[in-house]
Amino acid sequence: MLPTDAKRPLQLNDNGQLRHFLSLDGLPCTLLTEILDTADSFLEVGSRAVKKVPLLRGKTVCNVFFENSTRTRTTFELAAQRLSADVITLNVSTSSASKGETLFDTLRNLEAMAADMFVVRHAESGAAHFMAEFVCPDVAIINGGDGRHAHPTQGMLDMLTIRRHKGDFKNLSVAIVGDILHSRVARSDMLALKTLGCPDIRVIGPKTLLPAGLEQYGVRVFHNLEEGLRDVDVIVTLRLQRERMQSGLLPSQGEFYRLYGLTSERLKVAKPDALVMHPGPINRGIEIESAVADGKQSVILNQVTYGIAVRMAVLSMTMSGQNAQRQLNQETRELN
């Protein structure tokens, strides 16, 4: 993982506004709160007869997905379209990258398309940071998920879900359950919760699926599900990242469900109004029982709705930050 001081100059312009959106690490509470407030203001756009605002009219957003995704890609497309941007989606996993082209060469070819913003999803950790370092100055990079490292817009839509249903973070207990080791969502959620002042962040899972160094996130670690869920306000159940697992980390999926699957019975040890969340796609009967996923405490579908608003917020704020930096650079050149 890149150190915080390497990320901060990349992500923020000289005025502290978003220039790229790569990770939640190093971003201040005020900026995360601004993203949530901006997303709140965009939620009503989805209920309009004409679901558009003109903030990115004339801009081009290019979704560059080196790794397959449906939910993230679709919500970014909808977010950009609702901001009136032109949208191009490239499934690079079936084109140039699979033919041996380097990430640097792919970036240069993408720049030739004259897009204003690239939303990048990649199987390798740090890919979005690499592109942000080498992309031309007028193009913004948004991380749509990179390897095991970060999924910052998912982290922020999870925070918006929690805030809209629970209000302030200051008195909450939040449990994150499952495959923490391979989950970029877990890392982004832990960083966001810590920054926003959540006093009790718990991670629950088998030792083989918990990474070293969890202490830096200010979390409490549990290996017993019932103990970890006791009296929590929010439960985030993670998908088993089978595509990133090496053999031997789990005896079987059935054994994982027996010990760590979120069932109706286990949900009873949490608070009666505890939220149930999941980043999707859900593996029913492996991570979560269908009765819980579809139950009255589940806000999983709300997360998808909020995800569009959060991605609208990030796209608009990042473009605004890029424009402000461009103006500042122009003024500096004129003074010199």
187 is in an annotated binding site: no
Contact (CB, 8 A) for 81 and 87: yes
Contacts for 70 with CB less than 8 Å, ≥ 6 apart: 281
Taking alpha carbons only, the member of 44, 21, 42 closest to residue 31 is 21
57 is in an annotated binding site: no
Contact (CB, 8 A) for 21 and 143: yes
Helices (H), the chain: 4-11, 29-42, 71-82, 103-111, 127-134, 152-166, 184-195, 225-229, 253-260, 264-267, 290-293, 300-335
Helices (H), 44-84: 71-82
266 is in an annotated binding site: no
184 is in an annotated binding site: yes
20 is in an annotated binding site: no
Contact (CB, 8 A) for 124 and 147: yes
Q: What are phi and psi of 248, to 5 degrees?
A: 95, -5
52 is in an annotated binding site: no
Contacts for 52 with CB less than 8 Å, ≥ 6 apart: 45, 81, 82, 83, 84
Q: Please give the C-alpha separations between residue 199 and each of 19, 22, 167, 220, 270, in angstroms, as whole numbers.
A: 30, 25, 14, 10, 17
Taking alpha carbons only, the member of 30, 274, 327, 311 closest to residue 143 is 311
CA 243 to chain centre: 19
272 is in an annotated binding site: no
153 is in an annotated binding site: no
> For the CA atoms of the chain, what is the radius of gyration?
20
**Which residues are annotated binding-site positions for L-aspartate?**
99, 184, 239
**Which residues are annotated binding-site positions?**
71-72, 99, 121, 151, 154, 184, 239, 280-281
**Which residues are annotated binding-site positions for carbamoyl phosphate?**
71-72, 121, 151, 154, 280-281
